[in-house]
Amino acid sequence: MNTLLEAANPSPGAARTTLVRSSGPQSWRDKPDDALRRDALRLLGQLRENAAAARPVWENFFDAALGDSVGSPHTRRSYQQGAWTFLQWALSGEGGVDLLRPARRDGQRYLGWLRSHRPGQPYRPATLQVRIVAARAVMSALRWAGLGEARDPFGGVRVRADATPSIVSRPPYGDPELAALRTLAESLDPEDRRLWVLTLLCLHAGLRVAEALALTPDQIEGGGRFLRLTGKGSKMRQVPLSQQLITELSMLSAPDGRYFGWSYNDVTYRMKGVMANSGLIWRGFHGLRKACATRLYEATGDFTRVGLFLGHASADTTRRYVAVRADDLSRYVDGWTENTY
């Protein structure tokens, strides 16, 4: 076996791999090519010896390799989770993947494992697609580090499209749920009241939760009537605020220059707890954004205008956010007769 493969696949009796210390993504980007390649090989060895201990180093390496190709924090988290799922399988006895020289059918084997390893709770097709994209990004990251033999075994892997529209499988919050949320907000303590303002930013202003968490007072313009945002792809947009949001934000302090000091995991944990204690179903923060999209579409009938409000690059994306009522066109066709045409 050559020295490269020995570094990435140490034998049980071999000396332990020289540790690659945990450091931020930028330190990986700053490495000269030779050092990047050498440390990436050492990292693979660490992952085989003690994956849990090496995980922080891997996540920084993987984030560096992703670069600007993945913009939103939510998508980056999804890639990180999917990459780690693939690595755990690949490095296990069940997967047995040589990450430097993957076999041609390793991608199909991984897809088969994803489909079968959760009996009773299978992944939806959309989740399978995300997992495969993340696994492919692992191989791309290794090639980025100069490990040119890390070919892509996922080239021929295809996941069938989900027959159930995402707006059905992951619907927005309905009117009864939103009414219950408003009632709940009246009894919240000051800290949870801040959580309610975050909820309104997603529900009334259509913000992504990452945009809401990062909000600062200097983004409020026009006498408090608009928000200035930089969304996915560094696209700028100006969002009008509801009167309720104008009032709530005017009363909200901004310690350290930000309205919210929570991480995504922190605020998700808090929100899930509030919802569970009130007997409400947690549909994620994106369910609030979808509820906003649905209400705006019902008011305007225009996917393009709603998409501009939400910061979508395409109206096709907006269509997946809107729960169009089954009777949406009833008033137009109700009076049709055989003589209409």
Residue-level pLDDT at 234: 77
Alpha helix ranges (H) inside 145-230 = 166-169, 175-185, 190-203, 209-213
What is the number of other CB atoms lying within 10 angstroms of the CB of residue 311?
20
Q: Which of 186, 192, 228 is nearest to 207 (CA)?
A: 228
Angle at 278 between CA 276 and CA 283, to 5 degrees: 50
Q: What domains, with CATH codes, occur in the chain?
A: 3-163 (no CATH), 175-319 (1.10.443.10)
Residue-level pLDDT at 120: 81
Show pLDDT as tens, one digit a residue, over the chain (341 residues).
333 334 445 444 444 445 566 578 899 999 999 999 999 999 999 999 999 999 999 999 999 999 877 767 778 899 999 999 999 999 998 999 999 999 989 999 999 999 998 888 888 888 899 999 999 999 999 999 998 666 789 888 888 877 777 788 889 999 999 999 888 887 777 777 899 999 999 999 999 999 999 999 999 999 889 999 987 777 899 999 999 999 999 999 998 899 999 999 999 999 999 888 888 899 999 999 999 999 999 999 999 999 999 999 899 999 999 998 877 888 788 878 766 66
Angle at 321 between CA 319 and CA 324, to 5 degrees: 70
Q: Are strands 226-230 and 220-221 parallel, antiparallel or unpaired?
A: antiparallel
List CB contacts of 92: < 8 A, sequence separation 6 or more: none
List CB contacts of 215: < 8 A, sequence separation 6 or more: 201, 207, 227, 258, 259, 260
β-sheet bridge partners, residue 238? 228
DSSP string, 100-142: SS--TTHHHHHHHHHHHSSTTSPPPHHHHHHHHHHHHHHHHHH
